[in-house]
Structure 1
């Protein structure tokens, strides 16, 4: 053909349009004798253009035509034109696999196996493949027959007649037929050996799981027994020779290539162990020496060749061992470590291209599925499948994996396996690396149906699926609940009435009958919700039992579950997300306060599943939320209802964090610094109450005055409120100060200020089931007899003329909490000279402070109370420590800036740093103050109401002990420790406060 220089032929243009990357070379091939019909036939060109690699398909077709005898060539080409199934199959294979093109060039007649297109041909099994290989009497015939069968599997695959799972199953069936044929050939070569033993071939790995690759080692285990009358040693030797011959037949490379390596390294002792063992020898090894990974491998064991009865006996014998593997100590961590080691061994330059072993690869799916199977399959036979995708479906059906998660994992696994298949199919090489050159990537993308921009689309889809796999692998494989389920005794990992009753008694539930009713209500039926509950409850029962009141924990869980029963996320959260289930169990069984808060707003359970959910929200964040909600509300009552909702939610967050931090979990050990817990609780509750008051103030102002009150108004925190040391049951001590705006009459301003205080208190005192926020203004000038609100000028006049020593002392903890910030700062400037006097209190004033303290101890202590155990007024309690610290503040704050703080612990630390108190004494006071504060918090958490002394009810006392870190049965130690610590503190108080 003659072409005009600079011009392209119409054929060149057509080839370019059909996806050929080297149209010039394709033109030259089409000019060869006998291919003119291909060149002129648009049907064939269209079919070539539809393949993964049109250039490769054309080269393969040319080689096949040239290899055919002359009389067969035209038959082949005519059939390609007229028979679409053959055209799609043959050209599809040639465009995807250079290796199968090589096979057809050596065996040109094998294209005829692709002609048949009957229903029975669509999904052949072991029987059909055995028939195809029946005529193979030597290894090379077997290799050629194997490739011929592989050709038909690949054709169905690339044409979409089979999906990736069906293709993998067909490859496994072909491997089964091939192993049988290889054993037949080996037995024919050594009939005496075959007569001396019974040999069974057990497929492992992907072959055993019916999910084989195009090119993969076929993992096997050989088990043998003597034939009738044969000596065992000689029988094992004979079986070993047969097994070794079988392996050579499949693994050796000749002119016909190789089938695949047969790998027997999963046998007991690996490559160092005997190739063949008896069944009893296998069992002895597994029962005594086997490692965790060996049981994981046996999950896919399947008899495929040789003595059928022996193979079935082997699988039946090892199966119970597989499903007991999760009972082994550290089973889950061992499997997790093994997966991490695999990733760590991947060379750094390959990890991003590793489709099988890398993060987000196939192994991530398989390990996650297998771990879930081994843990939950002990008691649920439906999970005992060797197939990854079938097992994943069963896990989803049983509620062990979320449906959405299972669908995403299934889709990703299928896509990654399809990539793996097409990468291996090209040259029939065992590889799991994604190619990095453009032609290979282009062919790979097109083979998966990506045609617009194959390389970019492939990379995008691959990374998306890998990301899904990695995310879900981390979620499922490292699920905290999994290890807890694995640690349950056999039979306990799924609920039955008999198992549940026995376990409830053993765990120490006081009312097993009532507990059993709760379990039945939660887990009975065939719904998905019930299935998930049956998985969760055995673990939760143990966590509830590890508390002072397991019955209350289970009852609380039922109430929360009933309240959230119709929300799809609740049980998923407990099953899947972090430590949510364990956190919930700890919170529900620790006392009354946290469960009561949660039951008022059960959706707050999401806090327990968020890794950052237990961290306290900042005051600024909460104030923004509260004030915005008040601005949207229609009236003051509904505004404060929203504010209370925020307070309830945040109070639950704080109590949950406190309980979980105090008790600790396996993932999050108990907080090592009790002082840090106390400071966190005090700060969080103080901020929350300040924000609540700010919200009530805004609601009260808006109800009558709109956006602006006629007077500037501020709320000053006093006592533990001002000191950021509030407990769960503390009142909020406050002062109210106002200052008339410019042009506003002072009497009008005073009336407005008083009305807003009255409205605030009314709103905050509306009946509710939430813990009350009581505002106490009794520390104001003149106490209950004095006006509720004063101007700044009035406060100044009173303090200059009438102020008593105790009032100066009380002002040490005054800090603005809500309202006008500038006015609050002015108030602080007003009182600083009073609370931090220039020369400190005189001797008379110090004597008066000591007299008041002694009087308070004698008069305010409740009648009959044990002074050694009263946290507030008792020996070495809160009052002792605080008055000692406050005396040092009044004496030295002018010269020691660090003492100018409202916080007790900070002031004590500053006094120690300034040399005002020895370090040992400061540590003693701090320890006693922290302990007394924690006891008060514990009492509120356990009883749901405040108290200043230890509970008298044994169960409640035990719960307080658990909060403080004492095991059940050691409450006596707790009381002894409290008395010892506070006695030492009282000694310091006697010396430092009372002057020895």
Structure 2
């Protein structure tokens, strides 16, 4: 027994040496296995130097227990005490890897693999690993030999003999040797197949790039051909034989035996992925990559390297595909495809794991790899020095050539090494494929100690990990764009920089159609030593990335220069973009999404303040309600000295609020890094329709007040109300919509009708004039053509006149038009009484007669036949085409007129609300209602998009390719997918037309 005093002393020493389970460790040290060396201070020092002293001690005891004889145990102990290199290696492995501790316990003699410590052993190459696997003749013995080799790699790694890049290269060489051994075993099992074909194994991914993890899928592609290059049946027979060999080789590596598995061999990077043949001829590979391959497939080929099988065939494969790889950057939408692939990877990470993802998360390893590969593909066409499959080597070459700033390359390289080392240490513990930082404190402590962090391992590790991911996130986009700024700013004469040709090359690859103009804008923005230029150089790298994510990067950059020229001397402008997280990205999205929002902003650039987190006085991008808008407009009118000044103020508010709504719509559609675009499409349509309608109502209320004050003081001789009609009354206005209205008045007591009518008409004429005066603010067209008798009738009627007309002369289309009538400005009581007057017309008791239904159908057919412009594809006309707005709205309105008197929910001016009420009342099935709603929302979104992109209204998709792409981007379709957008629109409209045929025409 150990004396209490001595036990206490040992216990304290164990704690001092980093043991967390000191009592258990003390018992193990008192056990018979360690009796010969328990008092040796060197052993405790060595255990304390490991990542997990408790784990190392347990592993050592298990290894001693597993020795086949006392002599073998004594040999191990003697060597352990006498040979420091072995002691450091063995205990280092046992303290870092429970899995390799288990291996040593099962194969107790494998510790001898760690004894040799000579210069030639420090960095073994492929030949040494092949010798280590040479005697393996079956999957079980191959696994044992593989783990023995892995043991030596891990020992050099944890002792710091090799760096992370060397360790990764050794792991790739070991994987290469393993693939060769597995193919040798497969060929030995099927000599007839081996004699019939030539098979080359091409390593891809990290194995191909000489940067493999401890545990990772090994990505491969197989190439096969007949031994004598035969055609027809010989070639097919050879491919079948090669496929059998390749499949067997994969199973040898991937399947689990009593010794576990090695790693999965993944052939899904082959042409057509899992759907394609496992083995192809070289000519078949070349044909596929020439005709069908996607951008990411050429990106993957950057790391292609022949590793096993027929070396000559493998070399021919690389030689044949190499030219195609370096032409990939010339493909349309090249950069957008690469960045979209990166975003898709991030989006597939579970939300609960994204903050712990070392490889795929923001600021992770994949960000470095994608950035480096993208720059390689852009500039490797003309600079062969960049054509390396190894990330760190390629990064050094990019820095040497001036394609990446040297300081940025050093920082990025350091962060990449840290993250790779952390990934290695995580995987080494259990030899499991994972890229997640653990959450358990004991695991974090072991990881921190394994990376040399000893004072407070958990806190230090967390701090360093956050720091390095932050560096990667900051530099990821900057890598593409910072050298462009350095090329034009010319502030660091000693730094290698992009040549003008390389700068243009990069801008073209990033989607800029006019690289020369883009470089001029960059020079104007970033050159000089002023504070403004310095802040611009900080902002532009990320802004340029957001511009490149749009359909028109050139417009985004040009518009940014215009805004900066206008506001550059305003203190708050650059501070807003620099300090408020959302402002810069929101501005980039808005400036590159089309003409409307930038045009509105250029007329009053101070509206940039709305894009910030706080949004200045305006409250950010949340559209303001009608009451708040009306209060502001009426207050501005009240301060004006004339009607014209009052309406100018009202139009200024309208311009600002149109910009706010357009910006909210664009940001909601595009999304941001912080908030991906997941907004409900119907919600965005309702947001725009409601906001523009409320804004129009407030503008009319302010204009009415200004005109009355200017001509009559506080009181007009007649009560006056404005009734919104059409989309205005339905709260469904678009950005470019006119305001459809009716004007109604009622003479005040004691005022003659002629005087009242004269005043009312003067008000209308003056309102329309003032709202259309050319100015910096967009005009508001007031359209009264839906009034009784149309253009032939008087602009303004009294309530009594309306009542007489509707009682005697009203046509069915006028009753239908009144379904969307709603008071929007003026005398509230008069507006309410007008609604009471028209309700029996639009919601008739007993519904519609058959004659009225036939008349509605006739009118609609006539409208479709006469109004769709010639030469235009009617299937893409959002208003009058099949399944378009008119189809849905007339169907809903027919239901309203038939059933509105009985179903209260149908008595609404809003199309979507009425459709939902019809569904709730059982008048439309849930499926049909959903189909109509989807079509109406999509058609409205297209019209809004056209106005945002072109700056003028349109009812069909633009024909100009860049404008069409911008509409697609707004609707969620990335570069190269406008065809998918048009197909989706036709499909949605076709389904809606089927419902309309049944509900509108057949019932």
**TM-score normalized by structure 2?**
0.57
Which range is displaced more, 26-35 or 241-250? 26-35
Q: 1:158 to 1:183 in 2, by over 3 A?
A: same
Q: CA deviation at 1:210?
A: 1.0
Q: Distance in 1 between matches of 2:191 and 2:362?
A: 49
Q: Which residue among 267, 271, 274 is the counterpart of 2:274?
A: 271
Q: CA deviation at 1:143?
A: 1.7
Q: CA deviation at 1:33?
A: 2.5
Alignment partner of 1:247: what SS? helix
Cα distance per residue 1:120-145 (max 9 Å; x no partner): 22221212212222233333332222
Q: 1:377 to 1:569 in 2, by over 3 A?
A: farther
Matches within 5 A, 1:694-705: none
Contact kept? 1:19, 1:49, Cα under 8 Å: yes
Q: 1:404 to 1:568 in 2, by over 3 A?
A: farther
**Residues 1:453 and 2:456 are matched in the alignment:** yes
Q: 1:215 to 1:917 in 2, by over 3 A?
A: farther
Matches within 5 A, 1:587-736: 665=591, 667-672=592-597, 677-680=602-605
Alignment partner of 1:303: what SS? strand
Tell me the residue number matched to 1:221.
221
Contact kept? 1:398, 1:528, Cα under 8 Å: no
Q: CA deviation at 1:524?
A: 15
Q: 1:570 to 1:407 in 2, by over 3 A?
A: farther
Q: 1:368 to 1:12 in 2, by over 3 A?
A: same
Q: 1:915 to 1:64 in 2, by over 3 A?
A: farther
Q: CA deviation at 1:50?
A: 0.9
Q: CA deviation at 1:370?
A: 2.6
Matches within 5 A, 1:354-373: 354-373=357-376
Q: Distance in 1 between matches of 2:408 and 2:65?
A: 52
Q: Distance in 2 between matches of 1:203 and 1:609?
A: 45
Tell me the residue number matched to 1:876.
none
Q: Which residue among 285, 295, 303 is the counterpart of 1:282?
A: 285
Tell me the residue number matched to 1:56.
55
Matches within 5 A, 1:787-826: none
Q: CA deviation at 1:42?
A: 0.2
Q: CA deviation at 1:169?
A: 0.9
Tell me the residue number matched to 1:33.
32
Alignment partner of 1:451: what SS? coil
Q: 1:588 to 1:179 in 2, by over 3 A?
A: closer
**Residues 1:232 and 2:229 are matched in the alignment:** no
Q: Which residue among 245, 248, 251 is the counterpart of 1:248?
A: 251
Cα distance per residue 1:894-949 (max 9 Å; x no partner): 669xxxxxxxxxxxxxxx99968666764554444226999xxxxxxxxxxxxxxx
Q: Distance in 2 between matches of 1:422 and 1:543?
A: 37
Q: Distance in 2 between matches of 1:892 and 1:322?
A: 77
Tell me the residue number matched to 1:70.
70
Instruction: Note the aligned Cα RMSD (angstroms).
Output: 5.3
Alignment partner of 1:432: what SS? coil
Q: Distance in 2 between matches of 1:577 and 1:520?
A: 17
Q: Distance in 2 between matches of 1:553 and 1:63?
A: 67
Contact kept? 2:596, 2:951, Cα under 8 Å: no
Contact kept? 1:579, 1:608, Cα under 8 Å: no
Q: CA deviation at 1:195?
A: 2.2
Tell me the residue number matched to 2:11.
12
Matches within 5 A, 1:267-666: 267-473=270-476, 528=495, 530-531=497-498, 533-538=500-505, 563=528, 574-578=540-544, 665=591
Tell me the residue number matched to 1:798.
none
Q: Distance in 2 between matches of 1:552 and 1:126?
A: 51
Tell me the residue number matched to 2:157.
157
Q: 1:592 to 1:308 in 2, by over 3 A?
A: closer
Q: Distance in 2 between matches of 1:542 and 1:247?
A: 38
Cα distance per residue 1:264-302 (max 9 Å; x no partner): 121122222221110111122222332333222222111
Q: CA deviation at 1:314?
A: 0.8
Q: 1:176 to 1:579 in 2, by over 3 A?
A: closer
Alignment partner of 1:406: what SS? helix
**Residues 1:146 and 2:146 are matched in the alignment:** yes
Q: CA deviation at 1:74?
A: 2.2
User: How many correspondences in the alignment?
Assistant: 665
Q: Distance in 1 between matches of 2:468 and 2:512?
A: 41
Tell me the residue number matched to 1:929.
774
Tell me the residue number matched to 2:721.
none
Contact kept? 2:488, 2:522, Cα under 8 Å: no
Contact kept? 2:708, 2:763, Cα under 8 Å: no
Q: Distance in 2 between matches of 1:316 and 1:605?
A: 53
Alignment partner of 2:361: what SS? coil
Contact kept? 2:477, 2:545, Cα under 8 Å: no
Contact kept? 1:544, 1:586, Cα under 8 Å: no
Cα distance per residue 1:144-182 (max 9 Å; x no partner): 221111111101110111111111111001111111122
Contact kept? 1:481, 1:579, Cα under 8 Å: no
Contact kept? 1:553, 1:590, Cα under 8 Å: no
Contact kept? 2:594, 2:951, Cα under 8 Å: no
Cα distance per residue 1:498-545 (max 9 Å; x no partner): xxxxxxxxxxxxxxxxxxxxx999999996464164443457799999
Q: Distance in 2 between matches of 1:463 and 1:81?
A: 40
Alignment partner of 1:304: what SS? strand
Q: Structure 1: 5+ residue runs without aligned partners?
A: 486-493, 495-518, 617-656, 685-722, 726-807, 816-883, 897-911, 935-961, 971-996
Q: CA deviation at 1:220?
A: 0.7
Alignment partner of 1:11: what SS? helix
Q: Distance in 2 between matches of 1:313 and 1:543?
A: 32
Contact kept? 2:51, 2:449, Cα under 8 Å: yes
Tell me the residue number matched to 1:87.
87
Which range is displaced more, 74-83 or 885-894? 885-894
Q: 1:668 to 1:120 in 2, by over 3 A?
A: same
Q: 1:330 to 1:594 in 2, by over 3 A?
A: closer
Contact kept? 2:707, 2:767, Cα under 8 Å: no
Q: Structure 2: 5+ residue runs without aligned partners?
A: 610-634, 649-703, 717-742, 745-758, 780-948, 954-959, 961-1003
Q: CA deviation at 1:605?
A: 12
